[in-house]
Structure 1
């Protein structure tokens, strides 16, 4: 789990290679383009992609044209989105942050040729790592390389959610990821990859019970197969006043005392306002929603004058760019990747069987993303297969 370092390397840079890169030319228009890779610099290395995981939440916003960076720019100093000067414009190349590559050429002692590494360099069949900027995690022997797509970024996103729940209880005294869920009743809203991995983390770290709420029966079956209790949500009952209100069902089941019912903590993992509204309604008084979702629209359905106000609730954003205040020294991205590797080592067989629903070649990527964005195809986790394959993987 080391970053590339600029150790002296005996071999000179060899000839350049080429890579196919996923490109969103315009909303709904996805293509593959070819680009020449630069020579490997001293201290760097080149990988050939083995697997590349698709984030159906973030990445499809580029295909749909709803990503906020297409309409505004992020002012890092002020911490504000500034309208009128888009940070990105079409064509957008190399989206994606779940890659596994095999090291084909190296000019650093930090990683050996032939190693499998998890990185976040976008949907490309090849990539040259910048020794000063790129982070990589070498995958341990025996780990299914398909699951390696979760190690560099997606798994840490979910682990960081548990870390925020732990910090909510213990502040800087957090010892491990289980501190926020161990022995507690946990609800997860949204059974996409983020929600399902978060549920797996909570189960692994000792939650008394984990409920996963979602509108899609196929995804609820995956949640149940992973050990969580499925809780169906009727998308037509936006007011929560129907016979199958999931918040009512959950609060009837989870009683802590008089006038004290509901989840100890809710992980909100779906980028819809109605999902956040449901998450707040599921909480016991003075409980906390840990929000891992990415919202691209407004939030008119989040009624802050109702449960949020009357029950004294808290809402914490668990963005992967920030661990909880006071924990940055002990809990960095490396440690969250380590926690992901540990989870995959213990629960990898079930996650591989139930979470990864589609594996397709890079040539199929444009149609696959377009179909997912247009809802012509349903997938829990789609993975692109690179030009180079892992032996036995």
Structure 2
């Protein structure tokens, strides 16, 4: 099967992060098995999702990992003009959820397997498919832990997130946090006798905004990134029961998108200090049981690969370009890099189309990815 045919099959599986990816994994495992390629599955605790890892070529020398995530973002509330889980083609564009982010890359990798097998490889090519990337790079962590235990780790990892096949050596890290504000309810006619959790949460959110502005100081910027500074934003907030009740509870979720040399935990700690030293004492003068609690939702590190490194030179040869760049979105790249596997991001399609209704990838991008993997095959043959 060619990459377009494989993409049609991959898109047909609803692998929204809240759903299981096991049907897609079963298809890939059977596809590889028919080509006499064995694969290892690494399940989550509930065995409702799995990572897949397969090796083609010698296992006792360092090779290259081709990494992709199988989950996609929801289509809920989006106005699609085509069925989201059915591949549609129009004017040279292939439509469907995940076409660009990032089942297009996975389809190209699978289509390249017969070529990988056609002649003996002097270096191995590994296929790594993970789950729950879209909700914090969760699934790939167990897979990476297995790789860390191997006596011969891969030399390089290519993550096929959509970059229009331009090699990316850097991206920001992310920290997602939840803050629960517990106050004291009362009748709104006697509002000063209560502790309004929403108002105090708003004060904390305002402090987050001030911290975010501090991060824009010129000395903290890196012009390689867009935007060139670390960012903070509140994305979800909930609280209150009725307008005539002072709300006792409020919850909000916020995230830090940090430049690789900025510790996002420091941002969270700055807010926590403000909460403990400035806000909570005032709350407790009214109601001693008031509290502010923080919990980490997810986190992954940033990525910076040296443009002069052997890994960067190799990816330049594979991609046919040494025009390295950075991206604002995150990947599992920093996690691979943390165990000594140099990592770059390079895949077909553009994130401009990702996460949107009528997501698509240009057919020419899929063909270009096929050609890139053919170059990889030629370079790794004996």
TM band (smaller chain): under 0.3
TM-score when normalising by structure 2: 0.26
TM-score when normalising by structure 1: 0.26
Q: Give the number of the structure with larger relative contact order, counting CA–CA contacts within 8 Å between residues 6 or more apart.
A: 2
Structure having the higher helix fraction is: 2
